[in-house]
């Protein structure tokens, strides 16, 4: 009992302040009002030029009547108001009993009926809240249920990352049901929207895959193509080396440190290469310089010997 009372109170809080508008100037208009809220019915452009008018509910009860700008009677004046200048009839604190067929009759100054038109007013409880529940199934699919509190004639719609769900993402259900099953590889921001003619409420949940992977290989001569749980999979696993395993288990921080280490090693090798090159150039230069000095000394010795030989020949 307490739960029912609490739900009613919640619905009243949600409904309070909900206002809808309906143009009833077209015959057969269908209008909606929120339970506990307000509806504004556009009955005519203005009452100032209409000699006499009357609004009947279900063709039996005269809810409103007037002569031009003067309101003669209003059966629900405690929670409604009619504005002759713009022809709007405003009803507050709507209840289920306000729903029904309303007929507007217009008369001339002699009381003769000139025209009449009807509208249908439907009272709906607005959607108060939405609950989104997901669960993983045995083959890696994800079942998602969307339920709403309150709300008459709720309509459901789904989006993933802001885009309408497509058949390629759905295993069962469609974009307008409250229960859907997503395929194994679907993930992202899933939103369920619930609406009726007087309200719209949505709920978003981040979903991820259920830990399944798709394998497609030939093992022991058998073609295997299916979804399997990654954590316990023993099919189609290729042997890997220790270095590969080590790399695959590296964290992003470890990879960053490894890259920095490799870069530093490359820089050091480049510097060593430059140093070796310049040492080699220096050694080559020194060797060339030494060879040049020796050549000069030999030339000088040869010159002395030539002079001595010439002197000896002259003396003879």
Domain positions in the chain: 2-124, 127-210, 213-242
Cβ partners under 8 Å of residue 25, min gap 6: 42, 43, 44, 45, 117
φ and ψ at residue 281, rounded to 5 degrees: -65, -40
Rounded Cα gap, residues 299 and 133, in angstroms: 103
Q: Is the pTM of this model over 0.85?
A: no
Q: Do 25 and 106 touch, CB atoms closer than 8 A?
A: no
What pLDDT shows up at residue 210?
87
Tell me which DSSP letter residue 151 carries. Answer: -
Most trustworthy range by pLDDT among 80-84, 249-253, 272-276: 80-84
What pLDDT shows up at residue 238?
64
According to CATH, what is the number of the domain 2-124?
A: 2.60.40.10
Is 127-210 CATH 3.30.980.10? no
Give the dihedral sign, CA 298/304/308/309.
positive
**Domains 2-124 and 127-210 agree in fold:** yes
φ and ψ at residue 274, rounded to 5 degrees: -65, -45
What pLDDT shows up at residue 98?
97
How many residues in total does the chain contain? 316
Going by pLDDT thresholds of 50, 70 and 90, the confidence category of residue 299 is low
Going by pLDDT thresholds of 50, 70 and 90, the confidence category of residue 312 is low
Write the pLDDT tens digit of every residue in 1-59: 343 334 333 444 444 569 999 999 999 999 999 999 999 999 999 999 899 999 999 99
- With pLDDT > 90 as the criterion, what percentage of the chain qualifies? 56
Compute the average pLDDT of residues 122-129: 95
Going by pLDDT thresholds of 50, 70 and 90, the confidence category of residue 294 is low
List the structure tokens of 303. 């010159």
Rounded Cα gap, residues 219 and 83, in angstroms: 81
Q: Do 175 and 154 touch, CB atoms closer than 8 A?
A: no
Rounded Cα gap, residues 255 and 250, in angstroms: 6
Whether residue 234 is predicted with pLDDT greater than 90 in this model: the reply is no
Cβ partners under 8 Å of residue 84, min gap 6: 46, 47, 48, 66, 68, 69, 70, 71
Tell me which of 309 and 162 has the higher pLDDT.
162
Residue 61 sits at the vertex; the CA angle it makes with 32 and 106, to the nearest 5 degrees, is 80
Which residue shows structure tokens 């809808």? 20
What pLDDT shows up at residue 282?
81
Tell me which of 135 and 264 has the higher pLDDT.
135
What pLDDT shows up at residue 259?
85
Whether residue 218 is predicted with pLDDT greater than 60 in this model: the reply is yes
Q: What is residue 146's three-state secondary structure?
A: strand
What pLDDT shows up at residue 293?
61
Compute the average pLDDT of residues 210-225: 79
Write the pLDDT tens digit of every residue in 86-107: 999 999 999 999 999 999 999 9
What pLDDT shows up at residue 2?
43
63-67, 115-119, 295-299: range with lowest mean pLDDT: 295-299
């Amino acid at each position: 009992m307490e739960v029912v009372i609490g739900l009613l109170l919640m619905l009243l809080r949600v409904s309070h302040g909900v206002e809808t508008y309906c143009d009833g100037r077209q015959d057969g208009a269908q209008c909606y009002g929120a339970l506990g809220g307000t509806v504004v019915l556009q009955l005519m452009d203005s009452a100032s030029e209409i000699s006499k008018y009357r609004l009947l509910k279900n063709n039996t009860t005269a809810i409103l009547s007037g002569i031009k700008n003067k309101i003669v009677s209003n059966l629900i004046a405690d929670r409604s108001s009619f504005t002759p200048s713009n022809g709007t009839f405003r009803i507050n604190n709507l209840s289920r009993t306000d729903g029904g067929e309303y007929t507007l009759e217009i008369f001339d100054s002699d009381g003769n009926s000139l025209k009449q038109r009807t509208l249908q007013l439907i009272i709906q409880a607005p959607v108060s809240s939405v609950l989104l529940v997901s669960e993983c199934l045995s083959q890696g699919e994800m079942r998602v249920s969307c339920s709403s509190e309150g709300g008459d004639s709720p309509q459901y719609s789904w989006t993933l990352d802001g885009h309408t769900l497509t058949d390629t993402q759905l295993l069962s259900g469609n974009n307008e049901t409250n229960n859907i099953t997503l395929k194994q590889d679907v993930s992202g921001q899933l939103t369920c929207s619930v609406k009726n003619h007087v309200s719209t409420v949505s709920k978003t949940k981040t979903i991820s895959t259920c830990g399944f992977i798709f394998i497609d290989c030939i093992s022991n001569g058998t073609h295997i193509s299916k979804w399997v749980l990654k954590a316990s999979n023993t099919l189609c696993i290729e042997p890997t080396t220790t270095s590969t395993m080590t790399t695959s288990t590296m964290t992003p921080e470890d990879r960053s440190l490894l890259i920095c280490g490799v870069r530093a090693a490359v820089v050091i090798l480049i510097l060593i290469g430059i140093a070796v090159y310049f040492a080699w150039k220096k050694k080559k230069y020194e060797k060339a310089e030494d060879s040049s000095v020796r050549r000069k000394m030999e030339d000088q010795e040869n010159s002395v010997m030539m002079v001595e030989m010439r002197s000896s020949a002259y003396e003879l």
